[in-house]
Structure 1
């Protein structure tokens, strides 16, 4: 369950409640989302209501670009633990390869390495169960390759699928995780009107969002569907009950449109 852009605690409570009821056990957040504290309060209340314990769910958060570097990284991660009201975070990602959305900071590489070192230390301390990266390109991954395996999370949908990056991850035993599987809010309508997607939704008797989620899910790629509507929480979960054929996945992979809706990390040094 993605929580990007959802800061109102009442809405978060409703969608997380419905998600836990339906079977969701993975909640994705980030320091820059500004909702870690709300999620901590909500889980503290809801987990007992659903007869769940902390170890029954998976929480992913992300180190904000502004918190890159040794001292800032450790302090911000300690703050995330307090906000989420947990003793450990299941997966902590470096959210962005740069210290800001700008690409030219010459210290980016050093800051990435410092952040990664601190995250490794906190993993040994038991405060992080696993660590990884988000929005990294192959060049960024190569820098960390000698240190450890990493877990990239990148925008991934039929109009933006970096096949070379997926292959790189598969070849290097790195789990690939997608975000914006439905396209960003500004691009979702156009992606949903793609004729191939519409035909496949009709073929499988499901909604267009389920096909878009299934594009990644049926390739073994993790997905983070985000919604403020509890009814959509239920609809999105249908993807776990569907199987899209390799041939139909290939039809979507063959689409020649390339449109990245979120920030582009390919220019970050």
Structure 2
């Protein structure tokens, strides 16, 4: 099975985001509540520093919920500091060990550069080297699928020129105030699944996004909370979402998006505003 088909047929459309959650007790409670309500997808990354905790938590919780490893989807991401041929394999082997698993469902290159704000000409070479090693580990079965995060069209085009392996996923910031329609169309036309993070806006922007009069109006129209509507804006377009919360009740509430159906007309009314408020790291500065 092609790894893009693996993503298309196996990856749930909603996952538990774990960025900035360091407390193992908080992670345990959120994942426990999530598994109980129906989540089957955990999203982490090497830079989050919580892979070992997630490994221990799943080792305890899967039997409690009558689940097997194969019923859970795990995504992790290679840290920018681990980019390149010398470090990427070793770092992924460590992720496998941390997560207490023989394979990772989806491994992403977390960032197109070796640092967050980088114009280093070595970035292109490091991306190519990382992708080559990840492709090899996919063939070995240690990674079921591979993809990228925060990649712009230029980064994806470069990768296409150097490898026949097309990324299965591009995970990027996406919400009503930042939706990069050209990137969405590019991914769709190249059979790359477009996945959203920060669907509720970054912590510093969330209040402003949630106060948008149109968002408030439409959440009321569909009788859902504003977070659920914001998740639904992506989810109802076939874009998978990764809501992050430290509150188990919020995790349960967010799962309501799986029953939400927003009309195309209402989605278009949000898209037409065409705002460009990037609230997280900006990969457009990376060569």
Q: Give the shorter-chain TM-score range.
A: over 0.9
**2:142 alignment counterpart:** 127
2:217 & 2:82 partners in 1: Cα distance?
Answer: 45
Return the TM-score normalized by structure 2.
Answer: 0.93
Gapped regions of structure 1 (runs ≥ 5)? none
Q: How does 1:194-213 map to 2 (within 5 A)?
A: 194-213=212-231
Are 2:178 and 1:163 aligned?
no
Find the partner of 2:170 among 152, 171, 191. Answer: 152
Cα root mean square deviation, aligned: 0.7
How much does 1:256 deviate? 3.6
Give CA-to-partner distance per residue, 1:190-225, whole Å, 9 cap, x none.
Answer: 000000000001100000001100000000001000
Q: Which runs of 4+ in 1 moved over 4 A?
A: none
1:51 & 1:199 partners in 2: Cα distance?
Answer: 41
Give CA-to-partner distance per residue, 1:99-146, whole Å, 9 cap, x none.
Answer: 011221110000000000000111111100000000000000001124
Structure whose residues are more often strand by fraction: 2
1:257 & 1:266 partners in 2: Cα distance?
Answer: 16
Which structure exhibits the higher relative contact order, with contacts defined as CA atoms closer than 8 Å and separated by 6 or more residues? 2
How much does 1:71 deviate? 1.8
Moved more, 125-134 or 141-150: 141-150
Q: Secondary structure at the match of 2:17?
A: coil
**1:247 alignment counterpart:** 265
Q: Secondary structure at the match of 1:176?
A: strand
In the comparison of the two structures, how many residue pairs are matched? 269
**1:32 alignment counterpart:** 47
**2:13 alignment counterpart:** none
Give CA-to-partner distance per residue, 1:63-84, whole Å, 9 cap, x none.
Answer: 0000000120000000000000
**1:183 alignment counterpart:** 201
Gapped regions of structure 2 (runs ≥ 5)? 1-15
How much does 1:238 deviate? 0.4
Are 2:261 and 1:261 aligned?
no
Return the TM-score normalized by structure 1.
Answer: 0.99
